[in-house]
Structure 1
Amino acid sequence: MSVDPKQNKITKLITQLDLTQHISEFESFFSRSHSLYIEGDQELHFRYIKALDALEFNAPPKVADFTEIKLHLKKHGVLNFEQIFELVKVVRYFRYFKNRELEGLIGEWMEKIVTPESFTEIEKYFTHDGKFEENLDETLFGLSQRIKEYKNEMSGALKRMMNSSKLAGYLIDTQVHYINNEECLLVRGGFNHVLKGAVVGRSSGGFFYVAPDAILKTKEKIRYIEQEREAIFYSYAKEFSAKLSELLPFINFIDKEFTKFDNYQARVLFAKSKNMQLVKSQKDSKILLKDFIHPALHNAKPISVDFSKNILMITGVNAGGKTMLLKSILASAFMAKYIIPMKLNDNKSHIGNFKAIEAIIDDPQNVKNDISTFAGRMQQFSRIFEYRSALVGVDEIELGTDSDEAAALFKVILDDLINRGQKVVVTTHHKRLAALMADRDDVELMAAVYDEEARRPTYEFMQGIIGKSYAFETASRYGIANKLVNEAKKVYGDNSEKLSLLIERGSQLERELKQKHKAVDEKLEELQKKERALKEQKDELQKELQRQKAELKREYDLAINEAKKAAREGDTKAIHRAMNKANKKLPREQKEHIKQDVAFNVGDEVKYHSQSGVIVSMKGKDEAIIEANSMKVRVKTKHLKHTKIVKPKPQTNVNLNVTKKAGLKCDLHGMRADEATEVLDKFLNDALINGWDEVLVYHGIGTGKLSYAVKEFLKTHPRVKGFDDAPQHMGGFGAKVVYL
């Protein structure tokens, strides 16, 4: 059996990225074994997957591969019932979907799957669990009944033997034993005096398992019947196989469709069972993860990382999660490439597409092949240069050699990989390498965060900084004596310690900045929620306003039509009533009336009821003494009005002014097209209100532009029934008779 190098490479990558259990659980949802990659248009596949994800449905049954079945049919061989039932299971499952009469993409797909009538004839001979429906064949049904009768005879014979007084002294127990598919009694030695039969075995206690002759004879009869049944079954299998050979194109079709469907349903049901998201790789190389959780981790902190640039360098504390972050980035790209469900915020995440994904994670040292760690790393790197558009992950890039030399070497290597279009994520403790790469615009720095107070990693990451390794702290945490750790700090030196303090201070400032950003983001999100709510409320009010306007416009049009009808009948009062009614239907702005306090002073000219006078004195704000007609009267100021301020009474009048025309003619000679249509529109409106049914419009011949404009206007006017050129004595081609 040949080994597929590509499959071996994928299997190795799955192991390196700690995805073995996740992929194994995913593959258990397949109805039959498939490759992880779905051949064909990934965009189209993802549309079907999302459409299926919106439905609730039962999982398909486990189904065998059709390769051997199709090969038998191609050679006109005879299939057994088990093989035929595999085909039946697929057709029945598609029928289950088709009977649901779904709409959309899945419904359209199911409509394309039409089962031939000859296949339905075969299908009816199988029960839901794959047994042959013997009731449909009279001969088989009769043979089955005979077998039942013989078995009842055997059961009765055994019961009589066990209740026989002659055999009672030899029976060890009163139950039927099955040895090599033979019904037996367990008896002591000497049984042959009272029981005729064949010994088929011995018990551990030295007793005998005996098959009575009477039972054996009956079983022989059953065997003859079974042979007869098998002959009938074979004839059916032969008949069914001949029909299925003719249906080979249909079988190839449903095999292909079921392979696609199985790939889709496995992803959908696996995602639902684990509350995961379905994500497809995009047509670029950007990776943006939001709240991603590696499937191998339990109770893990979700990670968020922006890997938009070409290189991502992860530094920081030992045992702080750098390697798992690297694996998470590569694992997310791998799962998106194969549309394998994962846990993340799919609305805020973006994962690019890569032709190859390479992981340089394990120590390549091999004693057997006499290769060192560094030499093995160089071998691994040499293979990376063969790729284009690859995603490469390198864990502890400095592994196996001098750090200063490695920093220079790997800087040059990474520069070249960037030029080749590779995207590389690296974990390192090389502050020198990180510093050498940090000045590039296409390099992103990221550091694992250490909690100084708790003296342990936080398993969180900060972007844009170089992290400290905390080697001394890690050594103390894992049991190295403080005396040794302190001595190591002295050897390390003051300048190096100052550098570490600067790095640590940078991390602290970055953490504070992150907290501020988080608070701002939360506030911004809250404001955005309020903005969306207000926008939705505004949209609803706008819709309601438009609805009410449309309703009022409809009522207004009805009233106007009533007015025009009254105009044609010559009823002037009815015209006024209808027009006033129409104007009342139009929406008007509601003005808020605000009551204002009116101030009165001595000397003001005022009016008290019907009398006019002058204020001669005030008693506070509420009372005044006025002099009117040589008499002084004390009154409340609320009963007074200033006589010099004249406020017109609010009045709404709707008047219909119809200018009576001397005749039924409209002369448009010498007018521009827009001016002429405006005059013509007013003329027609007046004619309609006066109840005229026919009018004459003069436009002249000239260049033809005015004539054309008049004809086009008359064609679109809603109340013009038709028009013709005027008779020769009334203007001919230079005038139109218009019918209203």
Structure 2
Amino acid sequence: MRVNNNTKVDLLINQLDLNEHINLFKQFFSRQSSLYMEGDQELHYRYIKALDSIEFKAPPKVADFFTIKVHLKKHGVLLFEQIFEIVKVVRYFRYFKNKEVKGIIGEWMDKFEIEPKFLDIEKYFTHEGKFDENLDETLFGLSRRIKEHKANINESLKRLTSSQKLSPYLIDTQIHLLNDEECLLVRGGFNHVLKGAVVGRSSSGGFYVSPDNILKSKEQIRYINEEREAIFYNYAKEFSSKLTDLLPFINFIDKEFTKFDNYQARVLFAKAKDLQLVKSKKDSKIVLNSFIHPALHHAKPIHVDFSKNILMITGVNAGGKTMLLKSILSAAFMAKYIIPMKLNEHKSHIGSFKNILAIIDDPQNVKNDISTFAGRMQEFSKIFEYKDALVGVDEIELGTDSDEAAALFKVILDELILRGQKIVVTTHHKRLAALMADREDVELMAAIYDEANRVPTYEFMHGIIGKSYAFETASRYGISNKIVNEAKEVYGDNSEKLNLLIERGSQLERELKQKHKKVDEKLEELEAKKRDLKEEKEKFFQELQKEKSALKSSYENAINEAKQAARAGDTQAIHRAMNRARKKLPQEKTEPLQTDAEFKVGDNVKYHSKKGTIVSMKDKKEAIVEIDGMRVRAKTSQLKHTQILQQKHKTDVSVNVKRRAGLKCDLHGMRADEAIEVLDKFISDALINGWDEVIIYHGIGTGKLSYAVKEFLKTHPKVKKFEDAPQHMGGFGAKIVSL
């Protein structure tokens, strides 16, 4: 008899100690759902990651639509509670649609078009799911009548509690509600003063009595409620008929809500517990970085590189080998179902497996009359039925001789690998590990033991076979040193030497690991500094660009002001605007060139605070200086020129243009050739100053000067166009020139 898939999953969850984690995860679902999402897992993951970037409220708890849809197919009448389940889903999708989310979530929400016929149903339900009786005049009137009758009942009961005849029999003056009946609590003998029906007894021996004088009001309430129920039934019948017509719409939102519920449960669970959403990749490689099994609290993060076919875990007893095996299988299981987990998602990689199998527990059982080893053989025989599976085997040699088991399981593992399986194995025995240690497709890991403190560290190291530390573990748990020492003698010197060699290799590997860790930390520190410098450089560049842009804008504004002044013919305003523009430009700072001063006879120099004249030179390092009629020998390094020396060539970024380069040129009274020479220089100066528009005054006169100016402007390569000036600026006697 085959175990169904859900039972297999539940069994695996139990074997991997994931029950608490999965049950906590399921609490985030709005309605009961399978862990596995049918369809394209890659597409599901895209939607989940897109939803993870959005802030939203969780959907309400919603019942399954199966029964509802069956009733509608049979044209049955739904209860208001069932109708409201549909209303809740529609209202939630409307809430999400109104968020106007972009991307694939927004495109998904755009598919939800709510039928107008459904709005006619929805409006009758309050936010809490109650039928809104205010929308029906008859129901509203009936509700008001019920309130009036209830008020009469309360008034009658209050009058009875204040009655002098009844007061000796009243245990208290409260109005009690028992079995939906208003009543008074009285002592025995009340029937002499109070007529009514006993509806119950109190623990103290009193009687709960419903007085006869409120029966009429109660009957009226019952009649009204029956009338109301008839009206409610008619509404339910009408709503059910409309919903039957909307069955395709209900099927659609039911299916989409189930999908959305799977997405939101994963997103909100991850956010609530600070977990990561990871999907399995399309290969068989497993790399875990900083993974923590959800069943462990304050655990050390696990780092595993399981890229090969077999991972063999050896080492100290109670050192975490079984939990490492469970962690690898748990990570693969949670990635397959996209269940949030704790790990470094950027440095981890989890492959995809069609089946995940675990052989962990001892199969020995009195009821099935089977030994441990025989049970293990049965479990292994079942594994051969699968392909593309991740298999975890704890204590692989459990229940039989280790040497024989090593040979048997080596062949079994070889056969499983040929079937495309990936296997994690834990063992205390080194025989099997030694047989397979030199293979390229086998990865070794060992649990590390703290020799100084004689405790496991719950850390693991790649590439070595670990010692089991059976003797040390026995001592730690109370076995006397005498017994342990005798056991060591029985064990033999050669075996102990082998263990010492294994441990020495382990120690050297740990030391190398520590050195690698320090180097990695240093590299990470350098990378962080490099990133900081890059960010700072980018920041400065952006600030520089911003300043350049601001200066350019400011300068252009000043230029525009100058142009406006030029059009108005205001020369002073032009110069003021130009000065403002120059001040707003960044000024280039040039350092004066350092030159070695040269001296010659006859130069006027300064020696300390006295001035004099060089009368003779000795080489270029000494000079005789005459100061106030006295001659002094001095080094040229102590002398300074008192006259301005001609500087050597230097670069100057500024352009010096004479002040006369304004925006207008007046040629009145000049001969044609003289005027053309002045005009040529004026246009050159205007171009150097950056002007793109100038005005030339030539007058009207005989027309010769005007003709010469026009001919010159036509042939000048930098003149774009020219035209007669407006009347207020000279008319035909002036030209506006665009450069």
**TM-score higher than 0.5:** yes
Change (3 A) 1:355 1:640: same
Cα distance per residue 1:94-116 (max 9 Å; x no partner): 22222223333333322322222
Q: TM-score, normalised by structure 2?
A: 0.80
Change (3 A) 1:21 1:423: same
Residue identity in the other structure for 1:150: H
Q: TM-score, normalised by structure 1?
A: 0.80
Q: Match for residue 188 of structure 1?
A: 187
- State the Cα distance separating 1:45 from its structure 2 match: 1.6
- State the Cα distance separating 1:593 from its structure 2 match: 5.0
- State the Cα distance separating 1:273 from its structure 2 match: 1.5
Q: Match for residue 661 of structure 1?
A: none
Where in structure 2 are the equivalents of 1:544-563 lying within 5 Å? none
Residue identity in the other structure for 1:119: F
**Quick check: 1:600–1:637 contact (8 Å CA) kept in 2?**
no
Whole-Å Cα distance in 2 between the matches of residues 440 and 615 of structure 1? 95
Range with greater deviation from structure 2 (518-527 or 630-639): 630-639
Matched, 1:268 2:272: no
Change (3 A) 1:377 1:614: farther
- State the Cα distance separating 1:161 from its structure 2 match: 1.5
- State the Cα distance separating 1:547 from its structure 2 match: 6.2
Q: Match for residue 90 of structure 2?
A: 91
Residue identity in the other structure for 2:429: H
Q: Match for residue 472 of structure 1?
A: 471
Q: Match for residue 144 of structure 1?
A: 143
Cα distance per residue 1:627-648 (max 9 Å; x no partner): 89x99677885654699x9853
**Quick check: 1:314–1:322 contact (8 Å CA) kept in 2?**
yes
- Aligned residue for 2:48, secondary structure, equals helix
**Quick check: 1:69–1:79 contact (8 Å CA) kept in 2?**
yes
- State the Cα distance separating 1:128 from its structure 2 match: 0.9
- Aligned residue for 2:210, secondary structure, equals strand
**Quick check: 2:397–2:405 contact (8 Å CA) kept in 1?**
yes
Whole-Å Cα distance in 2 between the matches of residues 17 and 456 of structure 1? 25
Change (3 A) 1:604 1:414: farther
Q: Match for residue 378 of structure 1?
A: 377
Cα distance per residue 1:287-318 (max 9 Å; x no partner): 11111111111111111111111111110000
- Aligned residue for 1:535, secondary structure, equals helix
- State the Cα distance separating 1:4 from its structure 2 match: 7.2
Where in structure 2 are the equivalents of 1:458-607 lying within 5 Å? 458-543=457-542, 595=594, 598=596
Whole-Å Cα distance in 2 between the matches of residues 66 and 441 of structure 1? 54
Q: Match for residue 666 of structure 1?
A: none
**Quick check: 1:333–1:351 contact (8 Å CA) kept in 2?**
yes
Change (3 A) 1:534 1:615: farther
Residue identity in the other structure for 1:445: L
Q: Match for residue 322 of structure 1?
A: 321
**Quick check: 1:559–1:582 contact (8 Å CA) kept in 2?**
yes
Q: Match for residue 79 of structure 2?
A: 80
Change (3 A) 1:615 1:343: farther
- State the Cα distance separating 1:263 from its structure 2 match: 0.8
Change (3 A) 1:207 1:548: closer
Q: Match for residue 167 of structure 2?
A: 168
Change (3 A) 1:341 1:375: same
**Quick check: 1:605–1:642 contact (8 Å CA) kept in 2?**
no
- State the Cα distance separating 1:554 from its structure 2 match: 9.4
Whole-Å Cα distance in 1 between the matches of residues 184 and 483 of structure 2? 81
- State the Cα distance separating 1:606 from its structure 2 match: 6.1
**Quick check: 1:624–1:637 contact (8 Å CA) kept in 2?**
no
- Aligned residue for 2:312, secondary structure, equals strand
Whole-Å Cα distance in 2 between the matches of residues 128 and 314 of structure 1? 57
Q: Match for residue 430 of structure 2?
A: 431
Change (3 A) 1:231 1:582: closer
- Aligned residue for 2:304, secondary structure, equals strand
Q: Match for residue 402 of structure 1?
A: 401
Residue identity in the other structure for 1:37: Y
Matched, 1:650 2:656: no
Residue identity in the other structure for 2:114: T
Cα distance per residue 1:218-252 (max 9 Å; x no partner): 21111100000000001111111111112112211
Whole-Å Cα distance in 1 between the matches of residues 2 and 206 of structure 2? 55
Q: Match for residue 344 of structure 1?
A: 343
- State the Cα distance separating 1:152 from its structure 2 match: 0.8
Change (3 A) 1:171 1:456: same
Range with greater deviation from structure 2 (290-299 or 46-55): 46-55
Cα distance per residue 1:641-670 (max 9 Å; x no partner): 699x985343659799xxxxxxxxxxxxxx
Cα distance per residue 1:55-78 (max 9 Å; x no partner): 222211110001111122222211
Whole-Å Cα distance in 2 between the matches of residues 555 and 153 of structure 1? 85
**Quick check: 2:612–2:625 contact (8 Å CA) kept in 1?**
no
Matched, 1:226 2:220: no
Whole-Å Cα distance in 2 between the matches of residues 587 and 220 of structure 1? 97
Residue identity in the other structure for 1:471: A
Whole-Å Cα distance in 2 between the matches of residues 269 and 80 of structure 1? 32
Matched, 1:197 2:217: no
Whole-Å Cα distance in 2 between the matches of residues 187 and 148 of structure 1? 26
- Aligned residue for 1:118, secondary structure, equals helix
- Aligned residue for 2:165, secondary structure, equals helix
Change (3 A) 1:612 1:93: same
Whole-Å Cα distance in 2 between the matches of residues 267 and 259 of structure 1? 13
Range with greater deviation from structure 2 (533-542 or 608-617): 608-617
Whole-Å Cα distance in 2 between the matches of residues 550 and 421 of structure 1? 64
Whole-Å Cα distance in 1 between the matches of residues 453 and 33 of structure 2? 48
Whole-Å Cα distance in 2 between the matches of residues 336 and 651 of structure 1? 68
Residue identity in the other structure for 2:236: A
Whole-Å Cα distance in 1 between the matches of residues 128 and 584 of structure 2? 72
**Quick check: 1:186–1:209 contact (8 Å CA) kept in 2?**
yes
**Quick check: 1:448–1:467 contact (8 Å CA) kept in 2?**
yes
**Quick check: 2:359–2:392 contact (8 Å CA) kept in 1?**
yes
Percent identical among aligned pairs is 71
Residue identity in the other structure for 1:45: H
Cα distance per residue 1:309-343 (max 9 Å; x no partner): 11111100000000000001100111111111111
- Aligned residue for 2:457, secondary structure, equals strand
Change (3 A) 1:194 1:313: same
CA RMSD of aligned residues (A): 4.2
Where in structure 2 are the equivalents of 1:226-265 lying within 5 Å? 226-265=225-264
Change (3 A) 1:163 1:82: same
- Aligned residue for 1:211, secondary structure, equals strand
Question: How many residues are aligned here?
Answer: 661
Residue identity in the other structure for 2:386: Y
**Quick check: 1:617–1:626 contact (8 Å CA) kept in 2?**
no
Q: Match for residue 209 of structure 2?
A: 210
- Aligned residue for 1:165, secondary structure, equals coil
Residue identity in the other structure for 2:412: I
**Quick check: 2:593–2:650 contact (8 Å CA) kept in 1?**
no
Whole-Å Cα distance in 2 between the matches of residues 174 and 558 of structure 1? 90
Whole-Å Cα distance in 2 between the matches of residues 43 and 523 of structure 1? 37
Residue identity in the other structure for 1:650: K
Change (3 A) 1:586 1:139: closer
Cα distance per residue 1:544-592 (max 9 Å; x no partner): 566677889999999999xxxxxxxxxxxxxxxxxxx999999999765
Q: Match for residue 331 of structure 2?
A: 332
Q: Runs of 5+ in structure 1 lacking a partner? A: 562-580, 657-688, 696-718, 721-739
**Quick check: 2:448–2:458 contact (8 Å CA) kept in 1?**
yes
Whole-Å Cα distance in 2 between the matches of residues 410 and 342 of structure 1? 33
Residue identity in the other structure for 2:650: P
Residue identity in the other structure for 1:648: K
Whole-Å Cα distance in 2 between the matches of residues 416 and 606 of structure 1? 105
- State the Cα distance separating 1:189 from its structure 2 match: 3.3
- Aligned residue for 1:348, secondary structure, equals coil
Residue identity in the other structure for 1:282: K
Whole-Å Cα distance in 2 between the matches of residues 585 and 310 of structure 1? 71
Residue identity in the other structure for 1:23: I
Cα distance per residue 1:166-189 (max 9 Å; x no partner): 222322332233332222223333
Q: Match for residue 712 of structure 1?
A: none
